[in-house]
Amino acid sequence: MAKALVIFLHGVGSNGADLAGLGQHWASVLPDVAFASPNAPMPFEHGMGYQWFSLNGVTTENRPARVREARAAFDATLLPLMAQHGFTDAWDKVILVGFSQGSIMALDALASGRHPLAGVVAFSGRLAFDGALTPQPHTPALLIHGHADGVIPWTESESAALRLKSAGVTVETRFEPTTGHTISSQGAMEAAAFIAQCLQD
């Protein structure tokens, strides 16, 4: 029986298989962890794959509302996976690992405090959350971002970390000088080490 569940949250226009390989890669260093990598609930509007929320007409101003509106479908996607792996309603045994739009959803789950997560890892993400942050007190976060990211600037993770820290979240950051909008092998290793630490605390 696994003692924790890592749920991968893919980027827009992708699918669950995109990040599932990370779980296979991490299985040797996280032997007591189960992994799940679902498709986002909405078909991507501009090609193959799926999305957590629509990018049509999205702006800095309306993005937080898009994310809020996506919460119900997000939770409805994760709950059956948790039950399937023996973690029904056990959010404190769940670690969210997001990339890009998946990171936006993971950081929103953290910032809203609606689940007492065991941890959050956000690759190449941003915090699209307006108003006061209300995180759970014991959910740590690791934000990893490449300085060469041409899709979501690394400064988004920098500002997200500052806001989360101000709200009482224990936050670690890793900024990689030559990494673009992707997950590097170094970042993947650091994320696995962070998850292992979350499960020891």
Task: For the chain, 201 residues long, give each residue's pLDDT as a single digit of tens.
Answer: 799 999 999 999 999 999 999 999 999 999 999 999 999 999 999 889 999 999 999 999 999 999 999 999 999 999 999 999 999 999 999 999 999 999 999 999 999 999 999 999 999 999 999 999 999 989 999 999 999 999 999 999 999 999 999 999 999 999 999 999 999 999 999 999 999 999 986
Tens digit of each residue's pLDDT (9 = 90 or more) over 19-77: 999 999 999 999 999 999 999 999 999 889 999 999 999 999 999 999 999 999 999 99
Domains of the chain as residue ranges with CATH: 4-200 (3.40.50.1820)
SS (H, E, C) the chain: CCCEEEEEECCCCECCHHHHHHHHHHCCCCCCEEEECCCCCEECCCCCCEECCCCCCCCCCCHHHHHHHHHHHHHHHHHHHHHHCCCCCCHHHEEEEEECHHHHHHHHHHHHCCCCCCEEEEECCCCCCCCCCCCCCCCCEEEEEECCCCCCCHHHHHHHHHHHHHCCCCEEEEEECCCCCCCCHHHHHHHHHHHHHHHHC
| Size (the chain), residues | 201
Q: What's the confidence (pLDDT) of residue 94?
A: 98
CA 134 to CA 145: how far, in whole Å? Answer: 24
Which residue bears the tokens 């193959």? 48
pTM (two decimals)? 0.97
